[in-house]
Amino acid sequence: MNNFDIPLAVNACSTDDLAKLQVFEKILKGNVEAILITDTRGDIEWVNNTFTAITGYPESEALDRNLGFLFAGGNNEYAALYPKLGEVNHHVAETHMFRKDGSKFPANVTLSAVRSSADMITHYVLEFSDITEFKHAQDELQQRTRELSRSNQELEQFAYVASHDLQEPLRMVASYTQLIAQRYRGKLDKDADEFIEFAVDGATRMQAIINDLLMLSRVGTRNVAFTRTDVKQSLDKALANLRLVIAESGADIVCEALLVLDADGSQLTQLFQNLIGNALKFRGDRAPQIKIGAVQQDGDWQFHVRDNGIGIAPEHFERIFLMFQRLHGKREYPGTGIGLTICKKIVERHGGRIWIESEAGKGTTFLFTIPIQQAE
Q: Which is nearer to another protein, 70 or 216 (CB)?
A: 216
Between residues 168 and 298, which has the closer beta carbon with respect to another protein? Answer: 168
What DSSP string describes 58-125? -GGGTTTSBGGGGBTTHHHHHHHHGGGGGTSSEEEEEEEEE-TTS-EEEEEEEEEEEE-TTS-EEEEE
Phi and psi at residue 315, to the nearest 5°: -65, -15
Report how many residues bind another protein under the rule CB under 8 A.
Answer: 12
d(CA 219, CA 267): 8
String marking each residue 120-159 x if it binds another protein according to CB under 8 A: ----------------------------------------
- Closer of 110 and 207 to another protein (Cβ): 207
Q: Looking at the DSSP assignment, which residues form a beta bridge with residue 134?
A: none
126 phi and psi angles, rounded to 5 deg: -115, 125
Binding to another protein, residues 160-199 (CB under 8 A): 167-168, 170-172, 174-176, 178-179
Q: Which amino acid appears at position 118 of this protein?
A: A
Supply the minimum distance, in Å, between the C-beta of residue 186 and another protein: 18
Cα–Cα distance for residue pair 70/14, rounded to 1 Å: 38
207 or 302: CB nearest another protein: 207
Q: Rounded to whole angstroms, how far apart are CA atoms 293 and 276?
A: 12
Torsion of CA 162, 165, 168, 172, to 10 degrees: -50
Report the nearest approach of another protein to the CB of residue 158 (Å): 18
* Distance in angstroms (rounded) separating the CA atoms of residues 137 and 376: 20
CB of residue 164 vs another protein: minimum separation in angstroms?
A: 9
Query: Of 222 and 286, which CB lies nearer to another protein in the complex structure?
Result: 222
Q: Least Å distance between CB 173 and another protein?
A: 9
Between residues 110 and 336, which has the closer beta carbon with respect to another protein? 336
Task: Work out whether 221 is an interface residue with another protein (CB under 8 A).
Answer: no
Positions touching another protein (CB under 8 A) are 167-168, 170-172, 174-176, 178-179, 207, 211
